């Protein structure tokens, strides 16, 4: 298996691709910056690690998990979190349940309703004696959070570190113009682990669009709540990132916060809770979550062997051995698909090597099916351009391509019908794939060159025919009703089929798109920027 880069003018550039877009601008910019700001000399860092198994078992959460695992001692308990509200409420309850430690690692953390509420929950956990370690990629946080993060770091039970930080805080993009090779590499991992024994990981960042708390774009996404060996593996992997050379104590990067900054966080959280527009969403958090079901012994886990796959954090410095990268690990764990590969990725840019690999699978008789965003649903037009240039070759080889439609009238306050890849949101963000209806991957990995070569990623391979079959079934049932099928006409042109019950509609151009957006897709598809996407 080769090293795969599995991997709209821009209407809403995702934070994930800010580095790529800023880098492209830097390459084209005629302005010369003569004074490049440098990171300060590394100072002393406190040493800390996850709890031992004995320490973890002494907590109420550890005791509940030990009881749940009694009949499955060598397996991980997996609970898919497909619904956005459920996924946020479970995070809140996991933070509230922790008694000893919270290890929190994210790429994006918004300064919005859900971001404010979860930061306040972390502070309240620290107030009751929980040790909180918060590791955030510096590209994914707004400068408006700098004072809050500095104030949290001053709390005796909280330490905040920034991964691959920017020296210039506002505007950050200047850093790309002066230090592009370093800042183009980001930490895309996402996990929240309580007391070293229960973790939530997957595709969701922290922001309203990931949890259905917005009237704008709502992402269809997927996380899992995991206990057992999977949670222990994530906890130890967090230690590895926490102590890596790219993780900088926030006090080395940010100035000290104003003395009353934590009071400002309290006021912001109260304002969110008192906002009538947010009242229904916040009230819904009081519903019984899967974390509470775990504590009272009523949560029905899928018990399965798991393997954690995670990039060496040295990848962020361009120094990780090839064997330590996530795609090499997936190759060793998954092997070659024999019957079927079902892949769901919001940003699918297979590039030349990936296109060849998928084509060879299809030509060997393996069913290869891909679900990604349609042009109307994508939030990054340049990425769609990288995908579009490979569509014809993929279809010619027998690969099935499905493109999620943008859902109209999605009500973020209402849960959608569950599915393995998440709710029927207006844009796909889940990252998962299944091999031979036996094994399934859930994590942060997109099938694009950025995930393969530049960003660090994290995920679980789960040996579960039950979960893998749900993805297989989705391609036969739900996906044809939610997505356009891309087809190849006899003359070599592409067309799109939309199904509505038993009826179909044919589109001979990208559905529900303007000619100017299609022109932008074409323009980006011919630029030599695939490696950035």
195-243 pLDDT per residue, tens: 999 999 999 999 999 998 987 777 889 999 999 999 999 999 999 999 9
Q: 410 or 343: which carries more pLDDT confidence? A: 343
Catalytic residue check, 233: no
Q: What is the pLDDT of residues 158-198, one digit of tens each?
A: 999 999 999 999 899 899 998 999 999 999 999 999 999 99
Q: 415 or 479: which carries more pLDDT confidence? A: 479
Structure-token match 């044809």, residue found: 480
Pairing of strands 340-344, 223-227: unpaired
Q: 300 or 267: which carries more pLDDT confidence? A: 300
Predicted confidence (pLDDT) at residue 149 exceeds the cutoff of 80: yes
Pairing of strands 101-106, 131-137: parallel
Strands annotated E in 311-424? 340-344, 367-373, 400-404
Mark which of 238, 267, 302 sits at the end of a domain. Answer: 302
Find the distance separating the first CA and the last CA of the chain, reported in whole Å. 21
Predicted confidence (pLDDT) at residue 414 exceeds the cutoff of 60: no
For residue 306, which phi and psi values (nearest 5 degrees)? -135, 155
Predicted confidence (pLDDT) at residue 21 exceeds the cutoff of 90: no
- The 10 Å Cβ neighbour count of residue 231 is 28
Regarding whether 317 and 261 lie in a shared domain, the answer is: no
Q: What is the pLDDT of residues 429-451, one digit of tens each?
A: 999 999 999 999 999 999 999 99
The mean-pLDDT minimum among 187-191, 262-266, 418-422 falls in 418-422
Regarding whether 87 and 103 lie in a shared domain, the answer is: yes
Contacts of 275 (CB under 8 A, 6+ apart): none
Cα(509)–Cα(507) distance, integer angstroms: 6
Regarding whether 395 and 285 lie in a shared domain, the answer is: no
Half-sphere exposure (Cβ direction) of 255: Cα atoms closer than 13 Å: 6
Q: What is the domain count for the chain?
A: 2
Mark which of 256, 274, 302 sits at the end of a domain. Answer: 302
Task: Give the active site residue among 103, 138, 195, 290.
Answer: 195
Catalytic residue check, 188: yes
What CATH number does the domain containing 328 carry?
3.30.870.10
Instruction: Decide if 5 is inside a domain.
Output: no
Q: What is the pLDDT of residue 29?
A: 46
Structure-token match 């800042």, residue found: 183
Q: What is the pLDDT of residue 413?
A: 40
Question: Which DSSP letter does residue 209 get?
Answer: G
What's the mean pLDDT in 59-87?
95
Q: What is the pLDDT of residue 84?
A: 92
The alpha carbon of residue 265 and the mean position of all alpha carbons in its chain are separated, in whole angstroms, by 26
Q: What is the pLDDT of residue 37?
A: 67
Predicted confidence (pLDDT) at residue 260 exceeds the cutoff of 60: yes
Predicted confidence (pLDDT) at residue 528 exceeds the cutoff of 90: no
What's the mean pLDDT in 110-128?
95
Q: What is the pLDDT of residue 15?
A: 54
* pLDDT over 90, % of the chain: 71
Cβ distance 64 to 294 under 8 Å? yes
**pLDDT bracket for residue 287 (50, 70, 90):** confident
φ/ψ region of 409 (left if φ > 0, alpha if ψ in -120 to 50, else beta) reads left
Predicted confidence (pLDDT) at residue 3 exceeds the cutoff of 50: no
Q: What is the pLDDT of residue 51?
A: 93
Task: Give the active site residue among 172, 190, 315, 384.
Answer: 190
Regarding whether 284 and 318 lie in a shared domain, the answer is: no
Catalytic residue check, 436: yes
Predicted confidence (pLDDT) at residue 11 exceeds the cutoff of 80: no
Q: What is the pLDDT of residue 411?
A: 42
Q: What is the pLDDT of residue 291?
A: 95
Cis preceding-peptide flag for 171 (omega within 30 of 0): yes
Contacts of 167 (CB under 8 A, 6+ apart): 37, 38, 39, 175, 179, 253
The mean-pLDDT minimum among 100-109, 304-313, 470-479 falls in 470-479
Residue 414: exposure state from Cβ atoms within 10 A (0-12, 13-18, ≥19): exposed
Structure tokens that stand for 339 in this block? 């019957």
Regarding whether 481 and 345 lie in a shared domain, the answer is: yes
Task: Give the active site residue among 172, 188, 315, 384.
Answer: 188
Predicted confidence (pLDDT) at residue 2 exceeds the cutoff of 50: no
Predicted confidence (pLDDT) at residue 8 exceeds the cutoff of 50: no
Which residues in 449-475 are b (16+ Cβ under 10 Å) and which e? bbbbbbbbbbbbbbbbeebbbbbbebb
Mark which of 280, 302, 324 sits at the end of a domain. Answer: 302
Catalytic residue check, 179: no
Structural domain containing residue 458? 307-532
Task: Give the active site residue among 172, 315, 384, 429.
Answer: 429
Q: What is the pLDDT of residue 263?
A: 85
Catalytic residue check, 190: yes
Catalytic residue check, 487: no
- The 10 Å Cβ neighbour count of residue 303 is 18
Regarding whether 381 and 498 lie in a shared domain, the answer is: yes
Pairing of strands 223-227, 76-81: antiparallel
Q: Which range has highest mean pLDDT (234-238, 406-410, 479-483)?
A: 234-238
Q: What is the pLDDT of residues 27-41, one digit of tens each?
A: 444 334 434 568 988
Instruction: Decide if 24 is inside a domain.
Output: no
Instruction: Decide if 34 is inside a domain.
Output: no
Structure-token match 């796909």, residue found: 428
Pairing of strands 191-194, 198-202: antiparallel
Task: Give the active site residue among 103, 233, 342, 436.
Answer: 436
Contacts of 276 (CB under 8 A, 6+ apart): none
Half-sphere exposure (Cβ direction) of 264: Cα atoms closer than 13 Å: 15
Q: What is the pLDDT of residue 19?
A: 52
Regarding whether 327 and 425 lie in a shared domain, the answer is: yes
Cβ distance 104 to 195 under 8 Å? no
The alpha carbon of residue 20 and the mean position of all alpha carbons in its chain are separated, in whole angstroms, by 17
pTM value > 0.85? yes
Q: What is the pLDDT of residue 533?
A: 79
Regarding whether 336 and 287 lie in a shared domain, the answer is: no
Cα(321)–Cα(75) distance, integer angstroms: 30
């Amino acid at each position: 298996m080769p090293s795969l880069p599995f991997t709209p003018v821009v209407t809403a550039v995702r934070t994930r691709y800010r580095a790529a877009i800023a880098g492209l601008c830097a390459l084209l910019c005629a302005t010369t910056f003569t004074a490049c700001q440098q990171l300060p000399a590394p100072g002393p860092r406190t040493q800390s690690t996850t709890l031992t198994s004995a320490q973890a078992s002494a907590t109420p959460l550890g005791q509940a998990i030990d009881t749940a695992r009694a009949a499955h001692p060598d397996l991980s308990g997996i609970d898919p979190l497909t619904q956005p509200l459920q996924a946020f409420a479970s995070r809140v309850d996991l933070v509230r349940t922790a008694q000893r430690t919270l290890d929190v690692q994210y790429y994006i953390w918004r300064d919005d309703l859900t971001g404010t509420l979860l930061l306040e929950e972390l502070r309240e956990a620290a107030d009751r004696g929980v040790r909180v370690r918060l590791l955030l990629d510096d590209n994914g946080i707004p400068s408006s959070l700098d004072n809050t993060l500095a104030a949290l770091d001053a709390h005796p039970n909280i330490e905040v570190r920034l991964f691959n930080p920017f020296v210039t805080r506002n505007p950050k993009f200047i850093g790309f113009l002066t230090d592009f090779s370093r800042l183009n590499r980001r930490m895309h991992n996402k996990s929240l682990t309580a007391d070293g024994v229960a973790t939530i990981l997957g595709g969701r960042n922290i922001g309203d669009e990931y949890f259905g708390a917005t009237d704008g774009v709502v992402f269809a996404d997927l996380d899992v709540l995991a206990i057992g060996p999977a949670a222990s593996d994530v906890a130890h992997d967090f230690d590895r990132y926490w102590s890596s050379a790219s993780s900088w104590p926030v006090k080395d990067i940010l100035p000290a916060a104003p003395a009353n900054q934590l009071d400002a966080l309290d006021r912001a959280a109260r304002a969110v809770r008192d906002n009538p527009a947010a009242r229904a969403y916040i009230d819904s958090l009081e519903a019984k979550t899967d974390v509470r079901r775990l504590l009272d012994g009523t949560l029905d886990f899928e018990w399965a062997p798991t393997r954690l796959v995670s990039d060496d954090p040295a990848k962020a410095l361009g120094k990780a051995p090839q064997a330590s990268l996530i795609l090499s690990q997936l190759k060793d764990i998954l092997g070659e698909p024999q019957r079927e590969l079902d892949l769901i990725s919001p940003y699918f840019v297979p590039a030349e090597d990936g296109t060849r690999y998928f084509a060879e699978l299809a030509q060997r008789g393996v069913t290869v099916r891909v679900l990604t965003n349609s042009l109307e649903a994508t939030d990054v037009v340049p990425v769609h351009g990288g995908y579009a240039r490979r569509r014809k070759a993929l279809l010619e080889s027998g690969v099935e391509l499905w493109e999620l439609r943008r859902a109209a009238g999605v009500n973020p306050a209402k849960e959608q019908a569950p599915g393995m890849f998440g709710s029927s949101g207006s844009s796909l963000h889940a990252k998962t794939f299944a091999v031979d209806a036996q094994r399934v991957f859930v994590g942060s990995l997109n099938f694009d060159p950025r995930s393969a070569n530049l960003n660090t990623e994290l995920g679980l391979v789960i040996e579960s025919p039950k979960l893998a079959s749900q993805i297989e079934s989705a391609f036969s049932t739900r996906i044809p009703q939610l997505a356009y099928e891309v087809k190849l006409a006899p003359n070599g042109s592409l067309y799109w089929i939309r199904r509505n019950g038993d009826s179909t509609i044919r589109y001979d151009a990208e559905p529900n798109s303007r000619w100017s957006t299609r022109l932008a897709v074409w323009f980006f598809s011919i630029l030599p920027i695939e490696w950035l996407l």
